[in-house]
Amino acid sequence: MRIHEYQAKELLRGFGVTVLRGGLATTPADAELAAAVLDTPICAIKAQIHAGGRGKAGGVKLARSPEEARDHAEAMLGMVLVTAQTGPAGQRVRKLYVEEGCRIERELYLGMTVDRETGRVTIMASREGGVEIEEVAKLHPERILRAEVDPLTGLQANQARGLAFGLGLRGEVASKFVKLAAGLYRAYVATDASLAEVNPLVVTAEGELVALDAKLELDDNALHRHPDLAALRDPDEEQQRELEAKEHDLSYVALEGDIACMVNGAGLAMGTMDMIQLAGGRPANFLDVGGGASEAKVAAAFKILLADPGVRAVLVNIFGGIMKCDVIAKGILAAARHVNLSVPLVVRLEGTNVELGKELLAQSDLEIIPADDLADAARKAVAAARESVRAA
């Protein structure tokens, strides 16, 4: 689960990470008041959306008076901000964070996440802060410093000092980095985060280390342990279909293609999407119904997939283990009849009760395209989507 910058900073403040003072604004008057309370020569008006790259897209403005803060807020609230991370549809700005300014001397990067190869938290630091770290990692991976954390001992001071020295920090500033990195690590562990990132981490003219921007992504699977953090969810920042999927305990991820995918299991989802792309198509989404879904749950999943207006075909790829193929078939038939199926449906079933499931589909009055295996299903789904586009 993503949270806003202002929420992440409030959490990090509690773990000793230095952040600047600021106030939330949902109206121009709020922004003017927040700037007046800060009473600083300059403040930043920052759009609060769940995406990076706001500055380049006009989502961060500087104001030198409360009146100017109000003017910026009037222009920014309600605007659709399109950044490299929002996709072409952009994200509507509903909240602003009014934050005091500071004199920046250097911009650095500090982040941490779990390395899937080692299964341990990896801390990354770079002298190139304030830019998209993915590009730095891609073009100049040698410019990213790394430290792997032993889960039994946690982040050690000598590891943080090594990163500080690698960043060119010395003396008191290096000591402050060690303290800040330790605080960020404690926050990462305590909140069950999947990503903690400070970009940029700035060194000010006064020699302070400040988290000028911050991002925390929390593990959805651990939110039951953190009801206070779960309450930070902002439904306005999430797709309606993703919210509906959560209500039915389904995993739904929206993508940018035109073939909807219903699968059971993350691995099968990845394989299905790979095969679609190999066949020349693009997945519009994937919806994982899990291993023990009921007929009603499958029907709900099917409705969610078909609610996407960009979908030109649906590919159902189910391996029946705990979940039986006849249950899937009944759910598909119930949902397809209820939503008045308007796009081609390709179904590949394999596993428990597969013959019964295929028989149910074959005996229905719906135009369902059966597939023998995954490659066959992907080819048929791509062809059906193209035909659907031509016929539109």
Q: Which positions are catalytic?
A: 109, 197
Entry field: residues in the chain: 392
Helix (H) or strand (E) holding 228: helix 227-230
| Mutual angle of helices 266-278 and 374-391, in 10-degree steps | 60
Compute the distance between CA of residue 126 and CA of residue 197 in angstroms, rounded to an integer: 12
Q: What is the DSSP letter of 149?
A: P
Q: Is the peptide bond before 200 cis (omega within 30 degrees of 0)?
A: yes
User: Within 10 Å of residue 152's Cβ, how many Cβ atoms?
Assistant: 5
What's the distance, Cα to Cα, between the start and end of the chain in Å? Answer: 37
Among 324, 305, 75, 308, residue whose Cα is nearest residue 316: 305
Compute the distance between CA of residue 57 and CA of residue 61 in angstroms, rounded to an integer: 10
Q: Is the dihedral of CA 203, 205, 207, 213 positive or negative?
A: negative
What secondary structure, in 3-state letters, does 11-60 show? HHHCCCCCCCCEEEECCHHHHHHHHHHHCCCCEEEEECCCCCCCCCCCCE
Residue with tokens 């991820």: 253
Compute the distance between CA of residue 209 and CA of residue 105 in angstroms, rounded to an integer: 10
Q: How many alpha carbons fall within 13 Å on the CB side of residue 314?
A: 25
Q: Is the dihedral of CA 369, 273, 81, 303 positive or negative?
A: positive
Tell me the C-alpha to C-alpha distance, in Å, between residue 274 and each of 283, 287, 305, 340: 9, 15, 19, 29
Compute the distance between CA of residue 120 and CA of residue 232 in angstroms, rounded to an integer: 27
Q: Determine the number of helices (DSSP H) and then strands (DSSP E) in the chain.
A: 13, 18
